[in-house]
Amino acid sequence: MHYTPFTTSDSFSKGHELPEPIDCLVYIGLPNNPQFLGAQDPQALAEHIVRSRGPSGENKDYLYQLDEALKGLSDDSSDEHVHDLARRCRDVEGKGVDGAMKQSKDVIGSKLKKGNSTDEQEEVEEQ
């Protein structure tokens, strides 16, 4: 985990004086992390995400919530990689575009569970 300065995009687009940035905690998957997998085939990764879960729940649900949250921050805040993975996961589940609408409503109402330690945060693939 790392801290990085953050300033809202609204400040830039509206021409206001820039506020003082705030330090935000971010998690970055670095190559020296034992769980770091490096570059992955996007389709294989989507299939893995759909089959996997961790102490906080289904990995696909976390991905769908992340995709929705990023799109909701601002017009330019979506992440192409995250959005593509979410689309691929929905396709793997057979939900496509119509299912994505229903899924995003279902996911917004769900809550993540807090794990007890970082050791418990490793995902597991369902058998």
Closest CA to 105 of 56, 68, 58, 59: 68
Q: Distance (Å, rounded) from C-alpha 19 to C-alpha 11?
A: 7
Please give the mean pLDDT across all residues of the chain.
76
Q: Is the pLDDT of residue 84 over 90?
A: yes
pLDDT digits (tens, 9 = 90+) for 24-65: 888 788 899 887 888 899 999 999 999 999 888 999 999 999
Q: Which ranges constitute the DSSP H helices of 15-95?
A: 42-51, 59-73, 80-92
Is 57 in a helix, a strand, or coil? strand
- Residue 58 corresponds to which tokens in the numbers above? 């289904």
pLDDT of residue 2: 82
pLDDT of residue 95: 79
pTM confidence score: 0.59
